[in-house]
Structure 1
Amino acid sequence: MSHNKPIYVVDDDAEIRSLLQSYLERNQFEVRTAADGESLLHELQAGASAALVVLDIMLPGDDGFEICRKLRTFSKVPVIMLTANSDEMDRIVGLEIGADDYLAKPFNPRELLARIKAILRRSSVQEPAPEPPLAARYLHFAGFELDSAARALCTSSGESLTLSGAEYDLLRLLVEHAGEVLSRDLIAEQTRGRDNLPMDRFIDVQISRLRQRLQDDARSPQLIKTVRGQGYVLAATVEASHTSICR
């Protein structure tokens, strides 16, 4: 296999688990499967590694939402949630609790494969990117520090703030282009590797989550501002530093 960490497929439907395992293994991924979320949590908490988790919402015991919430308390592994419900609310809730993407059933395995590859291309979980030059490693803005090597965010007081992989990618893009208005299409292409589809609220949900992390009032945001009809802009001065403000 060309990938050194496995993909976990968590679904109580044995036929779907078998189908996805066979398909992904034919595409050079190592795959492990589980019929419930508790098995996944147990393995990862015991030290098992994972490149990505494909997580069904409808599971016995704790559902996919609860499993994702628990997973996010100790891991940043990317999560793609599967939903059989066409209601957009399921998708929004999944993104709000830390999922990186979602896919509605029934789906074409080729689309799932494309989304997995897009996430892994930008994720340090599969293969950490080379450390950037020291001068650009620590990016300071509005009392926050973004460590681009550790993919971590903290405050000037040293408090660490947890970000999902998708949240980090979005924040890094905004920080690197501070003062520039970024369209939803550009954000989708740069962070997800695909176009922003009509009625797709993924970007808006991630912006909302980032505002919560940064304590930026959604009713009158001062840091991540909405430019009506154009997109979003980080309204802050960004400085690169050789030293970290976090302890």
Structure 2
Amino acid sequence: MEDLKILVVDDESRMRKLVKDFLVKDGYIVIEAEDGQQALDIFYKDKDISLIILDVMMPKKDGWEVCREIRENSKMPIIMLTAKAEERDELLGFELGVDEYISKPFSPKILAARVSAILRRTNQSASNHLMEIDGIVINKIAHSVLVDGKEIDLSFKEFELLSFFFENKGIALSREKILNSVWNYDYFGDARTIDTHVKKLRGKLGKKGDLIKTIWGVGYKFDA
């Protein structure tokens, strides 16, 4: 797990230092943010973050707001830290997609162990986060895509769609299958969502967009 980068967000400098010291001992790179807005600024700027440890009660933007916005753009693991121990707060955290919920005060050793477990569970290790096909490189941790060495800007769903094509290379995929796997809801007969995203993705991939083949009457196939 060495060299993975973790963002620690808490308005208390003492708490940030406590968490940082334990994580650094385990070989992680730790960056800090003292409020919710600064955390979001770092999240959008730094594409190498592997996990976020996020306090709830903070100035400018609280942890719930930060978590909600990150979840609209990324599946990056999030551990919430809070002084509250009420059940409804914990349920809200899991509804927003929090991976772990830890109430203060807590054992830094336990926190470090949970960080390690989450990173193992989400396969975010330095050895398996890259996928490459025909000059297109997907970095799952950085959530970035290179085409012939040049980074292209994809939306969250475009990135997920391209990743799904990579993982199913050479397989004819129906629109129903793509919707259920990438959008996670049932297909009700409107193919425009898929078609629109494929069209945009092809455009951003340039000549490589031709690798996404239309299978008439079925859907699409990524054929390198």
TM-score range, shorter chain: 0.5 to 0.7
Greater share of residues in helix: 2
Instruction: Give the superposition deviation at 1:245.
Output: 5.8
Match of residue 3 from structure 2? 4
* TM-score in terms of structure 1 length: 0.54
RMSD (Å), alpha carbons: 3.4
* TM-score in terms of structure 2 length: 0.59
Match of residue 176 from structure 2? 156
From the CA coordinates, give the structure whose radius of gyration is larger: 2
Equivalent residue of 1:102, what SS? strand
Equivalent residue of 1:53, what SS? strand
Match of residue 105 from structure 1? 104
Cα 1:126–1:43 shift into 2, 3 Å:
farther
Instruction: Give the superposition deviation at 1:48.
Output: 3.2
1:38 aligns with 2:37: yes
Q: How many residues align?
A: 156
| C-alpha distance after superposition, 1:202-229 (max 9, x if no partner) | xxxxxxxxxxx446xxxxxxxxxxxxxx
| C-alpha distance after superposition, 1:58-80 (max 9, x if no partner) | 11011101100001111211000
Cα 1:130–1:4 shift into 2, 3 Å:
closer
Instruction: Give the superposition deviation at 1:149.
Output: 7.2
CA distance in 2, matches of 1:27, 1:159: 39
1:61 aligns with 2:44: no
CA distance in 1, matches of 2:61, 2:36: 7
Query: Contact 1:7/1:51 (CA < 8 Å) preserved in 2?
Result: yes
CA distance in 2, matches of 1:95, 1:155: 29
CA distance in 1, matches of 2:48, 2:36: 16
The answer for unaligned runs of 5 or more in structure 1 is: 132-145, 164-212, 216-242
Match of residue 13 from structure 2? 14
Cα 1:160–1:59 shift into 2, 3 Å:
farther
Cα 1:62–1:20 shift into 2, 3 Å:
same
Q: Which runs of 4+ in 1 moved over 2 A?
A: 2-5, 124-131, 146-151, 157-163, 243-247
The answer for unaligned runs of 5 or more in structure 2 is: 131-162, 169-173, 187-214
CA distance in 2, matches of 1:68, 1:75: 10
Cα 1:130–1:70 shift into 2, 3 Å:
closer
Match of 1:70, as an amino acid?
E
